[in-house]
Structure 1
């Protein structure tokens, strides 16, 4: 359990400049993706028939629910810096599915943005949240 806690909530150890960049990265990427997710959230709970791609063959409703989970809940976790490394994983997977499956035949112009998000989520998953995060507050003063 200690190793799991160490990996999930480890904010990383960086200079204040890098911590500030990680904060800005988390806020910008989280807020931008949240704007995509809010529309999907409204579609999921709006009462209208759900029309959403089903790239994994699990049904349109389940696919939409998974997208809402990552784009809304995981984006909020990124913004506040809670479980940041773990929260980046569903977002990364969602963007890979969008780029490589949903838009596979649409050309690079439609794949470019999800691939850029994928790259940012990989960086966040590797680097962690930095000092300006709830992850840091959780681990502050504890040797992980």
Structure 2
């Protein structure tokens, strides 16, 4: 598990690029997750149930991914583990929720998924909490 979470050594310019990608993509996803969290706290439990686990559970898991995991990715804390729910959520959005939609409806999901897979492969980089934990 430690090997899975440990950041890999990247060139300095790549570390800066990973930092910018982590902060940018997480900040954008946080807006989606926060809106869903605010709705849930306001008592609105209605949500899509694309994989058949129930509306409320789908909402809670989506909030966990979009809000909670985005904060972890932003910090670079347990980054690869936090990316798994985000990758799964974006895959469901692309393949199930917008599966039959034209590409223009899928663009945002493709961008998020591409960034998450890239971060999963590169790791969080030198400028992350993970790097400090696993030195």
What TM-score do the two structures reach when normalised by structure 1?
0.90
- Residue 11 in structure 1 maps to residue 7 in structure 2: yes
Query: How far does residue 12 in structure 1 lie from its aligned partner after superposition?
Result: 1.2
- Residue 82 in structure 1 maps to residue 69 in structure 2: no
- Aligned match of 1:132: 127
- Residue 120 in structure 1 maps to residue 115 in structure 2: yes
Over the aligned positions, Cα root-mean-square deviation in angstroms equals 0.9
SS of the residue corresponding to residue 39 of structure 2 reads: helix
Deviations 1:80-102 (A, max 9, x none): 00011111111011011011101
What TM-score do the two structures reach when normalised by structure 2?
0.96
Query: How far does residue 104 in structure 1 lie from its aligned partner after superposition?
Result: 1.4
Query: How far does residue 5 in structure 1 lie from its aligned partner after superposition?
Result: 0.9
Query: How far does residue 115 in structure 1 lie from its aligned partner after superposition?
Result: 1.4
Aligned residue-pair number: 135
Task: Give unpaired runs (5+ residues) of structure 1.
Answer: none
SS of the residue corresponding to residue 33 of structure 2 reads: helix
Query: How far does residue 47 in structure 1 lie from its aligned partner after superposition?
Result: 1.5
- Residue 60 in structure 1 maps to residue 55 in structure 2: yes
Deviations 1:42-99 (A, max 9, x none): 1122123x22110011111000001000000100000000011111111011011011
- Residue 22 in structure 1 maps to residue 18 in structure 2: yes
Task: Give unpaired runs (5+ residues) of structure 2.
Answer: none
Higher Cα Rg, which structure: 1
